[in-house]
Amino acid sequence: MRILISADMEGATGVTWTDDVVPGSPQWDRFRRLFTGDVNAVLAGLFEAGAGDVLVNEAHSSQRNLLLEDLDPRARMLTGRHKPLSMMQGVDSGVDGVVFLGYHAGAGFDGVLSHTYLENQITGVWLDDVPASEGRLNAAMAAEYGVPVLLVSGDDETCEDARDYAPEAELVQVKECVSRYAAICLPPARTADLLTGAAADAMARAGREERQVRAHRIEVEFDASHLAQATAVIPTVEQIGTRRVGFDAVNMTEAMKAFKVVTAIAAGAVQGIYG
C-alpha cells in the first residue's frame, strides 16, 4: 500500500497564532519540531498497519517547514513550492489513500487560524455551492483520482468540517478552538498516541476507489472589491458580485489550477495595510 500525507501546519499540535507558522520566527522554529512530530506519529501508525511507501507532501506556506533530518527514515518527503497539484501533489501517482494532517477550518468559519489559501483576503470559498475549506477542495481532488481520505487531524472545527466531506475518515482532534488565535491544546505525548492509533486504524480503508471525474464550479469572495476586479481579468473568471468571482472547470484538477491563479493574482493586488 502506498499512502500520501498532505501536511499543513495550522492544525498541528500546539499551534495557535501567526508566529507559530510564519517562517523565520523563534516560535516557528519551535513548532516546526512539533509539526514534524505529528507527521512521525502518523507515519508510525501507517507503517505499523502495513503501508509499504509513504510520501509526505509539505503543504504549508513556504512548504519548507518539516525537518527532514528528524523524519521517520522509512518515509519520503516532497518539499518546496510551485507544485502543479499544490497541497495534493502526489495524489496522481497511484497512491491508495491520503491523510490530511494539520488541517484547519475554512475562511469565514470559526477555527484556529481558519482561512482558505490566503490568510486574510478571502472571506469565503464555495465548491458547487457548498462552503469549502482546503480540506473539502482537496477531498474533491482526491476523489477525482479514486483516492480515499483516510484520516484528518486538526482542531475540533476541522474535524466537524471533515465529518461532512470525508465521513468515513478517522478524525484526530489535537486541540479545541477557543478563538482564531487561542485553543485548549493537548501535549505532544498525547496527540502522538492519538495520531498513531488513528493512522493504524485508517489503513483498513486504504485502496483505490472509482474515480469521480466531473465538472465543478468554484466561487471566491474577497474582503475588498478591487481583489474581485483584479482576478476577473483571468480568462474564464467572472465577477459575479462586488467582492465575488466565480468560474467553471471541466474537472477538479483544472478547477484547482484556476483557483491557484485566482489566489496568486489576489495576493499580488494587496496594497499594504489597506489590503
The residues annotated as belonging to the active site are 115
| 3 state SS of 275 | coil
- On whether 216 is known to bind a ligand per the annotation, the reply is no
The three three-digit cell numbers of residue 74, written as one number: 522509512
Nearest to 70 by CA among 85, 91, 53, 56: 56
**What are the counts of helices (DSSP H) followed by strands (DSSP E) for the chain?**
7, 12
Task: Determine whether the annotation assigns residue 144 to a binding site.
Answer: no
What does the block give as the cell for 102? 494539520
Q: Is 104 annotated as a binding residue?
A: yes
Cell of 168: 468515513
Place of cell 481532488: 141
Count of residues for the chain? 275
| CA–CA separation, 250 and 231 (whole Å) | 20
Residue 237 CA to residue 233 CA, distance in Å, equals 7
DSSP 209-260: -------EEEEEEESSHHHHHHHTTSTT-EEEETTEEEEEESSHHHHHHHHH
* Binding positions: 8, 10, 60, 104, 134
Q: Which residues are annotated as a binding site for Zn(2+)?
A: 8, 10, 60, 104, 134
